[in-house]
Structure 1
């Protein structure tokens, strides 16, 4: 008899925007992706214009590009940052949000650092005050987009981050491992068993695979049944 695959005790929370397909989850993913692509496009254009202008690579004076100061090093960093944002957008979901939050934080830190090194030899990216302002604006924009759907005191029920918080709270409580007692619960357990076997034999449907993944860190039968029903 084929047995279900062994599941690790702890895995990342399973009810998040990469698994759940609710209206709110789709909206969160769309905002993250469009935001990452848009900022990446702006940075890519800035970087390309810098290279076209033939700017010195390590000049601390820099040259003007679209109203900002730049040099070859800053143009390179702009293109690399754009590539990171595009990679996050392609991955989508939680990754896009994390990437935008991280890049946004880096923009803000860069802005504050360059406030202290303007007109010094430490200003290796040739920043001027316009660059500082631009970095602050882009940093705040990326943080806002990256945290969209995650920071709120009244998240809707189908928000993937709310589901994540609820799941964590449930994981912190010891849930009794109650056996199936009703025909519906027994039907759910049969469906769970069939899905796990299908996943182990690499013939599962996308829905079965997603459901099994959603249950991955549940330690009790009751918890697995609950996740299965919530996913439907």
Structure 2
């Protein structure tokens, strides 16, 4: 298994990036849900453009949940954010891949367009990067990991 850095010097930057991504999805979800209340939950036509992505009520709710959980984790920190970022980034990448596969079919239940896929993929990769470099540990743990990584 590969080894990830502990107490990376850019960890605060990654937490801010995580918080901003989560805030974007939370705001998108709230605005998207407010603007799509007249649509059916899994509407594929008539979706509204919100903050550069198409929204239907289902995707808006998913975005609100992922955004709220991610923002809470970013605020809490203490390696909770690392675990949450792994899960949220995985959800982003899986949803992005599924919606890319179903983009022009009846299975596009989240009403995605190509811009949605791109934004969700970029967010997923940034969150995964934050998870890789966000681990906090004692100085002794960080030194042990660093010496192990450079001993080969």
Equivalent positions of 1:36-47 (< 5 A) are: 36-47=18-29
SS in structure 1 of the partner of residue 59 of structure 2: helix
Pick one of 60, 75, 87 that aligns with 1:102: 87
| Count of matched residue positions in the alignment of Structure 1 and Structure 2 | 138
8 Å Cα contact 2:36/2:55 also seen in 1: no
RCO higher in structure (CA 8 A, sep ≥6): 2
The secondary structure found in structure 1 opposite 2:105 is coil
Which consecutive residues of structure 1, in runs of 5 or more, have no partner in the other structure? 1-16, 18-23, 151-156, 167-232
1:80 Cα shift? Answer: 0.5
Q: Distance in 1 between matches of 2:134 and 2:19?
A: 18
1:123 counterpart (108, 115, 136): 108
> Which residue matches 2:42?
58
Per the TM alignment, residue 86 of structure 1 is displaced from its structure 2 partner at its CA by 2.0
TM-score by length of 2: 0.76
1:144-180 Cα deviation digits (max 9, x unpaired): 1111156xxxxxx9485554687xxxxxxxxxxxxxx
What is aligned with 1:136? Answer: 121
Q: Residues 176-227 of structure 1, C-alpha deviation per residue, up to 9 Å, x if partnerless? A: xxxxxxxxxxxxxxxxxxxxxxxxxxxxxxxxxxxxxxxxxxxxxxxxxxxx
Match of 2:13?
31
Gaps of 5+ in 2: 1-5, 148-152
1:213-232 matches, cutoff 5 A? none
State whether residues 42 and 56 of structure 2, in contact with CA within 8 Å, keep that contact through their aligned partners in structure 1: yes
Give CA deviations for 1:4-63 in whole Å, capped at 9, x if unaligned.
xxxxxxxxxxxxx7xxxxxx46853x2343233111110011112112313422202222
The RMSD of aligned alpha carbons is 2.7
Instruction: Report the secondary structure of 1:93's partner residue.
Output: coil
1:92 and 1:115, CA in 2 relative to 1: closer, same or farther beyond 3 A?
A: same
Larger C-alpha radius of gyration, 1 or 2? 1
Aligned runs of 1:77-92 on 2, under 5 Å? Answer: 77-92=62-77
TM-score, scaled relative to structure 1: 0.52
